[in-house]
A = this chain, B = another copy of it.
Amino acid sequence: MAFMTRRTDALSRARIVEATIELLDTAGESALTVRALTAHLATGRGAIYHHVATKDDLLAAAADGVIGRVLAEVGGDGDPAPAIRALALGIFTAMDAHPWIGSQLSRDPGQPAVRQIWTSLGSQLARLGVTGPARVDAGSALVNYVLGAAAQHAAGARRAPDAAARQEYLQALAATWAGEDPDAAALLRDHDDRAQFLAGVDIFLAGVSALRKPAGVSALRKPAGSG
Contact = CB atoms under 8 A, between A and B. Distances in A.
Contacts of A123: 180
A184 B122 contact: yes
A7 interface: no
B196 A137 contact: yes
A46 interface: no
A118 B102 CA distance: 20
Contacts of A155: 106-109
Copies, count:
2
Nearest to A131: B183
B200 A210 contact: no
A98 to B, nearest CB: 15
Nearest to A146: B148
Interface string A169-204: 100110011001101100110010000110110111
Contact of A149 (B114, B148, B199): B148
- Interface residue range, chain A: 35 or more
Contacts of A209: 210
Given A148-B148, A152-B106, A184 B115 contact: no
A106 B206 CA distance: 26
**Residue among A149, A169, A172 with the most chain B CB within 10 A?**
A149
Interface stretch (A36-44, A61-69, A71-79, A213-221): A213-221
B180 A126 contact: yes
A140 interface: yes
**Residue among A132, A183, A221 with the most chain B CB within 10 A?**
A183
24 contacts: A103-B103, A106-B155, A109-B153, A109-B159, A110-B169, A110-B172, A115-B173, A118-B173, A122-B177, A126-B180, A135-B181, A135-B184, A139-B184, A140-B149, A140-B199, A141-B149, A144-B145, A145-B200, A147-B148, A147-B152, A206-B210, A207-B210, A216-B219, A216-B220
